[in-house]
Structure 1
């Protein structure tokens, strides 16, 4: 497998501090459209005979998404093949085998298939991570989890906390990269100081437009020198043959394993960075249905909502009047009136601008309310944690239109796009 050292930043700035391991030499089959097939980092590592992990004592941070092109899990392959010395597994939210719902995990246990100890890492502090790494006796952390491109999807903070811990303990860190199903475009507001939480710990925008490997490089250059006192020894096994304008819905020949119980399809992932904001309201975001985040509704909404949104002629999207009854979560067993988000042109679709427009129109209904959490009297509104500040909520409450809300973060979004540029590994529009 070809390695290339990445150039350090100019003098006076923090070096990227990572090695990028390129696509393997195995020829890629042609996609029916004529393009070479995209190959995940795991597939490239396998095809290269696991050479990047030779001699390492490996601890794997993963969940059910860490599979090869034949849906075989990396951990199972390591154990069965005997080439890699894997000694422990670390399970994030929902667990290593993926059996737990949102906000839950599987606990620390022995995996019945492999006999490996699976450490429960959900909610772990950086000190907890360091203690688990020491207990497992590893010298290399390998991370392979499918991300969906949103700041509030918790796996990227599993990545961050485990990287900080690895740097402090002095471990090597290897990311097996996968395509971002939302592509390479960044959208939305920046998280601001004071609104750190489990759904956003550092200053990135709401839809970051990076792969996990690119994010790891960004963390390593921008945050770890301060938060860990040093950068971690980082390697990224790259995705092969991928351009960032190839979205998840374009890559249906790649295995899609639910990254979490309410992320069943690539389309779910495309809408999620926007419609997940409805978690911060008293409208149902589709949990408890077969179309989470694509269906949004509440008993107080009606067909006028979708009519008004269609009249706005938002790019790349239409809205279908819809009625549904969630089986759990908000309004369980109660009829909800609302809509289904129908993406008609993914290349033009902006999930966050779309969802902001949806929120502005939903706010016009008397029954609408922002979710209020009594357990956090200082920052009680969940929407503020999701969006990274009070700005979106207060602007909508004050009667601002969607275009004004979106324009309010244009400067910080441009600055973020420029800041991330030197950490990017893949080419495509908007980068």
Structure 2
């Protein structure tokens, strides 16, 4: 049996970073993971280049039952703080778009950096060892694995959510949280492609077609590209909106976000012999223009048509209602929305209020960021908050 100040369950972004911080501040830390190698989700992120943070990180770009919860951790460990660490390790990076930062080389550089930070503090890592049981008694946690038993005064749940199960992701964090009496906000796929059915199946024929749009779900709108797929809708704008979409509600698409308010009436005056189809082909990919024109059913040269149907076509193109019948689920979701309730945790330390020594960080918690490096920044910020608290408790 081995004894530590803290055991971190999960060798992903949040877990490795938390352990490195705690270890470098004097805590004896062990990271445990059932996978055969650390950082698997990091390695596939950002097309293999890891979108490791976002310059525009702010609390209002995160979803949570408590929209204020993330403020403390995010303010105390910022994107600039993580960039400083990346620079210190000599990792070259670039901004791709919208504040999204990627490695010039490979995501492997981020994993290697996290492992180096852990080793620098003398932290230990054990992979490929399945957790059989977690117990708590007399202020100590005992973690039984397939090989041995580890004990510590503090335990960190950093096993993420069930998104991308092919990498070994599961709902283990929620089971463990419930075991210790913590509430869980219903987990659901987020940053996920949406599926279409019924009469909207015809849009699947556009598979591979992409266009810049504004996608709106609930009160949230995102101006990025939408991509039609053989199952429905994807692309950055759709993935972003999916986190705010509720089953049964419409998803609104503005297909011509840059167009003037009365662009079609203007076209009627300047190009009276044009048709709606030809006008749409000037602004959109041809296949998409043709499908939209067919659905609108406005035929004839613009100069021969009354203003009323043209205005109606303008309005629909600016607020086209899709009715997704679902999403592609956790298998294709980049992250999980919901998770361990923030009402159970300290926003300053990530420690459970009713179970001293128990922490939850990263994707396991009910804090979900936008697409584009925001979820990694939450992993770093929440991991840093818990890591510092763990070290302080170990010293005490």
Instruction: Give the TM-score normalised by the residue count of structure 1.
Output: 0.24
User: Which structure's residues are more often strand, by fraction?
Assistant: 2
Q: Greater helix share, 1 or 2?
A: 2
